[in-house]
Structures are given as C-alpha cells and as structure tokens.
Amino acid sequence: MDHFIEQIQTLSKRVNRLKNTIATEEATKTSIIMPFFQVLGYDIFNPEEFLPEFTADVGIKKGEKVDYAIMIDGKPVILIEAKAANQKLDKHDSQLFRYFGATSAKFAILTNGILYRFYTDLDEQNKMDSVPFFEFNLAEPRENQIVELAKFRKSSFDVDSIFSAASELKYLNEIKQFLNNQWENPSDEFVAFIISDIYPGKKTKNVIEKFQGLVKKALKQFLNDQVNDKLKAALANSDEEETAQAKEEKAPDVPEDPKEEHNAPQIVTTEEELEGYVLVRLLLREILDPERIYYRDNLSYFNVLLDNNIRRWICRLGLNTSNKYIQFNDEGRTTVYIETVADIEKHRDKLIKVAQKFL
C-alpha cells in the first residue's frame, strides 16, 4: 500500500506540473490518464486487458467508441471516457451514460486526467447513476481517497466488494456535500432545524433570516473549538516529561533565521509542520498503524512521536526557519537539512529504521 501511495503522490506532482500545458485530449491520455491506470496495475499496452477505442453499439447507432475499456475474461468491466485536461466534466456524462447501458460493464469512469468520477448502477440496474459514487482528484490526493482508489487496483479488484461499498461512498459524499453547502450558506430549512430547540417562537421568515448569520458563525466557531481542543490535547505535556526531555535531549545546532521573532515567543503549529507530520505518517504506514503516530510542537522544533510518548520520538522537524531540517532519533541524532517539506520523502528508509527500534 505504501508503494501505491508513493506512486500516486509522484503522479500527482507530475499532473500539477503539466496540467496547464496540456491542451488536447490525446496529450491528456498519454501523459496522465494512461500512467494513472498503469499505477493501478493494468497493462496499458495489452488490449486484452486495457482496450482502447472499445466499440459500444447504442441502439441504432453502430460503431460508437468508448476511449478505453478494462477487460476481464474478454468482457468489459470498467468503461473509461477521457476528455482534455482543460475541459470540465459536467457536460460529458450523458455520452458515458449511453455506453454504460449498452454493455455489460459494471463501472464507468469519466475523467479529464485530473478528476476521476466513478459511476455504477445503484439506483436502477444496468442504468448508470447520474451522480458518481466516488470522485478522485489526482491534483490534490487525500489519504482516505487513496485508500478507496486502491480498491480499483488490478491486484485487489473485486466487482462485488466494490459495488457493496459504492452505496456507502455515494451517500457519504452526498452528506459531506450537504454539510459543506450548509457551512457556506445555511438554508432556511437547516436554520429552522438548528434553532428548533433554541428559539421557542414561531420560525417566521424574518426569524430565519435573523438567525442565518448566527448559525453560520456558530458552525465555524464550533469547528474551530473542536480543532483547538484536539491541538491542545496533542500538545499537552506534563512538567515531568518536559523536564526529562530537556535533560536528555537537545535540539540540533541549527543556524537561527534572522527573520524569526524572539520578543514574544509562542508555539504556533504551522501548515508546513502539519504537512510534514502527515507525510511522516504516510511513510511509516508500512510498519505502523497511523493512529499510533502523534505530534507535539514546541518553540525549537516539531516532534513526531510513537504512542504519544515523548521518550519515543521518531524525528524532529525544523520547518519554521530558512534552514529547514529533519533530525532522526538514532544513535548520532542525525540531522539532515532539507529544501522543502516534500524532501522528507527522500528519507523514508531512515524513518522506518528509526521507528523499528521501538517495535
């Protein structure tokens, strides 16, 4: 799984580098779409497995072509309709809809190389749903989405298991979309529901409008409070642990950044530090349950810990300075300077070696 994650991340970097220079559908196919399915384990040069220009006769129309079909035992199981990277997908699902009903395929994918929309027939058998049950953004891959995407790898592909999970995915995504919409612009019905146990009077239109802004503000404050509480819990450390840490360990001798502010020091966990933490978790998935990996921030550096134990720190990240570094908890407390957070990936083997000594 770790190797698959690395491959997706590498392809993602390629997409972000090329997406503004790819102008045609053919260029999109060869530079992004075919490599994407190659990462999924398919032999893109074997027409018995990955067939280009698959014929899907639709009614009286003969010779209709689907860009690609993934074949199993001579039958299509996944239809793939490709568009250029600079095209939006909203107007192209009707074509794939026609193809789906004319074949035995159980899944269909509409893509412009960046977005991949996965369809099946949950609502009506042999009729492609109008809403995808899963959408993957290759330009911004998320860990939970990569896990779902992995089900479509050749090595683990199973029609029945994916179809069973598709219903849950579909409704999960629709719920998330609903919540996102309410977050940005709460509807009258949502506001009325929220205040039903708070405001005893009649929920007139004027009352709803009065509470609309308040509900939106409350939602944002609630989420901020939840995030802050979790950050405080993660950063919490007893005086005894801090004292032991100060006695046992010293931060690496790193040149100070003259731009840093020393007058009013306070711990601020930055986006780069969180990005580094997530990357370390991903790199250690091969040997560790990610839930066992925690972080604690302090003024000098950012700790990545095993089991939230300060004595079992795996590495320290110094990212809030012009001289960025990663320090490993090995015998020599090796410190390596890096240019960007992404450079942490180059030290995957070292991270695994350090983490293994705690297992």
In one letter, which amino acid is 113? Answer: G
> What share of the chain has pLDDT > 90, as a percent?
28
Q: Treating both helix axes as pointing N-terminal to C-terminal, what angle do 271-283 and 348-356 enclose, rounded to 10 degrees? A: 70
pLDDT bucket at 93, cuts 50 / 70 / 90 = low
Q: With bands split at pLDDT 50, 70 and 90, how would you rate the model's confidence at 92?
A: low
pTM for this structure?
A: 0.54
Find the mean pLDDT for residues 298-323: 90
Assess contact for 262 and 268: CB atoms under 8 A: no
Q: What is the mean pLDDT of residues 191-202?
A: 86
Phi, psi of 295 (to 5 degrees): -140, 155
- Give CA–CA dist 317/272, Å, rounded: 10
Quick check: 198 pLDDT over 90? Answer: no
pLDDT of residue 63: 64
Token readout for 75 is 């039958």
3-state class of 88 per DSSP? coil
pLDDT at 172: 80
> What band does 51 get if pLDDT is binned at 50, 70 and 90?
very high
Structure tokens at 225: 């409070």
With a cut of 80, say whether residue 114 has pLDDT above it. yes
Q: What whole-number distance in Å separates Cα of residue 209 and Cα of residue 75?
A: 56
Q: Contact, 314 vs 303, CB < 8 A? A: no
Query: Which range among 97-106, 188-197, 238-247 shows the weakest confidence by mean pLDDT?
Result: 238-247
- Distance, in Å, from the CA atom of 352 to the CA atom of 349, rounded to the nearest integer, reads 5
The pLDDT of residue 222 is 79
Domains and CATH numbers, the chain: 2-176 (3.90.1570.30), 239-356 (no CATH)
Q: Which of 52, 58, 57 is nearest to 71 (CA)?
A: 52
Q: At what angle do helices 159-184 and 205-235 cross, to 10 degrees?
A: 120
Whether pLDDT at 59 is above 60: no
Cβ neighbours for 7, distance < 8 A, ≥ 6 positions apart: 39
Percent of the chain's residues with pLDDT above 70? 85
Whether residue 42 has pLDDT greater than 70: yes
Least confident range from 28-42, 230-244, 337-351: namely 230-244
* 115 compared with 234, residue with greater pLDDT: 115
Over residues 331-339, mean pLDDT: 90
Residue type, 275: E
The yes-or-no verdict on residue 265 having pLDDT over 60 is no
Question: Please, are residues 142 and 131 in contact by the beta-carbon 8 Å criterion?
Answer: no
Q: Name the pLDDT band for 240 (thresholds 50, 70, 90).
A: very low
User: What does the pLDDT read at residue 237?
Assistant: 47
pLDDT band of 261, cuts 50, 70, 90: very low
Statement: residue 250 has pLDDT above 70:
no
Report the pLDDT averaged over residues 254-282: 72
DSSP 8-state symbol, 61: B
